[in-house]
């Protein structure tokens, strides 16, 4: 697993993921053995490759259990065990963010980083720091994202690792996007993409292109460039079947199709995105797709269906979070659309549709759409 972690950072990543998948039962046995032995050094040799594998395969709940159960067993106060426990909790926090609990994830990972800093703050990797950043992004903590991104760049400079530099640049670009500095964000995003393409590494390529550069060029209004970046990201994600990036690029391509007035194609892409979100248990992203589909219904003149979808979004506690699929809180976007529809519908029909939507459960509606 230690060797595979190195392979996952270059053109050998597809083969490494397949090898891990083929041997996952033996890997689990070995992992459990070293966890039960409280052997911090051996445990840490698994962590990076396991995080990568669970992330790409969309196995978020299993990952939380995997890292969380192990962390609970490491009760010793010896520095190497404390270090390993904090590393496990940071990875657990990454996946906690992805299932829609960034408040909990951010508390967990900040505690981990404080613990690691007390031991050796200069050895905290970019991979560990970005477990904090993903939570901060979903909570729209712009200042914290900027701080963490700077710490990542400093770490990458100290380590001299090209892969770390690529991901530090990715987070820097996203930080600038959050601050509205779009032109400034393009440069680190493009530099990151160049790094990962030179490494022939599809994981980083898909993130740099399909998430970062697609989002920045979309915000700038360059729809052609956004579409090209989405397609490049999708191509890279398909090489390793990276589900979350496929979900993200489908959503981006749906937005492009909608802006190009191809509502039917937009709907098809949004449903593809929704299907992956359901498979991976991503509540926040399912809500985001429901919001996207509400805009499709509006464009088709189906205002009653649109307001029902908006009621589901506005009624859900996770709507108060950011999604990587949009620039602001989902609740704010949904409220703008709701107010717009309210002025266009008969009050009685509006109220009936609104009440129907409020009674519906997200999981049931998603199942109905996908079936």
The enclosing domain of 106 has a CATH number of 1.25.40
| Per-residue confidence (pLDDT) for residue 327, from 0 to 100 | 58
Q: How would you classify residue 201: left for phi > 0, otherwise alpha for psi between -120 and 50, otherwise beta?
A: beta
d(CA 308, CA 353): 6
pLDDT digits (tens, 9 = 90+) for 317-369: 988 887 765 656 889 999 999 999 999 999 999 999 999 999 999 999 999 99
| Inter-residue contact 369 to 274 (CB < 8 Å) | yes
Where residue 57 falls among pLDDT bands split at 50, 70, 90?
Answer: very high
- pTM for this predicted structure: 0.92
| Per-residue confidence (pLDDT) for residue 309, from 0 to 100 | 97
pLDDT digits (tens, 9 = 90+) for 16-34: 999 999 999 999 999 999 9
Same domain, 127 and 251: no
Does residue 228 lie in a domain region? no
| Inter-residue contact 254 to 266 (CB < 8 Å) | yes
Does residue 273 lie in a domain region? yes
Same domain, 135 and 250: no
pLDDT digits (tens, 9 = 90+) for 154-184: 999 999 999 999 999 999 999 999 999 999 9
Q: Of 139, 162, 191, which marks where a domain is finished? A: 139
277-291 burial, b at 16+ Cβ within 10 Å, e below that, comes to bbebbbbbbbbbbbb
Q: Of 139, 164, 197, which marks where a domain is finished? A: 139
Same domain, 1 and 135: yes
* 224: CB partners within 8 A, 6+ apart: none
> Which structural domain range is residue 130 located in?
1-139
Does residue 132 lie in a domain region? yes
As a whole number, the mean pLDDT across the chain is 95
Does residue 148 lie in a domain region? no
Name the 3-class secondary structure at 345.
coil
d(CA 211, CA 174): 9
Does residue 163 lie in a domain region? no
pLDDT digits (tens, 9 = 90+) for 277-293: 999 989 989 999 999 99
Count how many domains the chain has.
2
| Per-residue confidence (pLDDT) for residue 318, from 0 to 100 | 87
Tokens of 49: 């490759």
Q: What is the percent of the chain where pLDDT is above 90? A: 95
What own/partner pairs with CB < 8 Å and gap ≥ 24 does 222-228 have? 223/256, 223/259, 223/260, 226/252, 226/255, 226/256, 227/253, 227/256
Does residue 324 lie in a domain region? yes
Closest CA to 289 of 242, 323, 245, 243: 323
Does residue 332 lie in a domain region? yes
| Inter-residue contact 89 to 48 (CB < 8 Å) | no
Q: Of 105, 139, 173, which marks where a domain is finished? A: 139
pLDDT digits (tens, 9 = 90+) for 193-215: 999 999 999 999 999 999 999 99
Does residue 315 lie in a domain region? yes
| Per-residue confidence (pLDDT) for residue 322, from 0 to 100 | 77
């Amino acid at each position: 697993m230690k060797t595979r972690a190195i392979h996952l950072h270059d053109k050998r990543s597809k083969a490494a993921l397949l090898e891990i998948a083929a041997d996952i039962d033996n890997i689990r046995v070995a992992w459990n053995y070293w966890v039960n032995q409280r052997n911090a050094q051996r445990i840490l040799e698994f962590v990076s490759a396991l995080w990568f594998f669970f992330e790409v395969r969309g196995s978020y709940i299993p990952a939380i259990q995997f890292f969380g159960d192990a962390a609970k067993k490491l009760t010793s106060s010896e520095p190497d065990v404390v270090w390993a426990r904090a590393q496990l909790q940071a990875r657990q926090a990454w996946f906690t963010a992805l299932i829609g609990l960034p408040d909990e994830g951010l508390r967990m990972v900040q505690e981990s980083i404080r613990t690691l800093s007390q031991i050796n703050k200069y050895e905290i990797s970019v991979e560990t720091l970005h477990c904090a950043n993903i939570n901060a992004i979903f909570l729209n903590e712009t200042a914290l994202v900027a701080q963490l991104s700077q710490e990542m760049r400093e770490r990458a400079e100290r380590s001299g690792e090209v892969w770390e530099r690529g991901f530090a640049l990715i987070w820097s670009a996203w930080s600038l996007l959050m601050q509205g500095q779009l032109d400034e964000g393009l440069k680190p995003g493009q530099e990151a993409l160049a790094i990962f393409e030179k490494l022939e590494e599809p994981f980083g390529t898909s993130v740099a292109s399909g998430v970062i550069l697609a989002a920045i060029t979309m915000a700038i209004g360059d729809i052609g460039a956004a579409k090209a970046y989405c397609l490049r990201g999708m191509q890279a994600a398909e090489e390793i079947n990276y589900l979350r990036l496929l979900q993200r690029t489908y959503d981006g391509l749906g937005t492009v199709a909608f802006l190009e007035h191809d509502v039917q194609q937009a709907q098809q892409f949004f449903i593809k995105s929704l299907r992956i979100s359901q498979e991976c248990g991503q509540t926040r992203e399912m809500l985001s797709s429901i919001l996207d589909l509400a805009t499709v219904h509006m464009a088709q003149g189906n205002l009653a269906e649109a307001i029902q979808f908006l009621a589901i979004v506005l009624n859900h506690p996770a709507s108060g979070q950011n999604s990587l699929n949009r620039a602001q809180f989902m609740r704010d976007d949904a409220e703008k659309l709701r107010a717009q529809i309210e002025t266009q519908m008969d009050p009685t029909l509006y109220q009936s549709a609104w009440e129907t939507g409020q009674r519906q459960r997200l999981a049931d509606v998603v199942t109905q759409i996908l079936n």
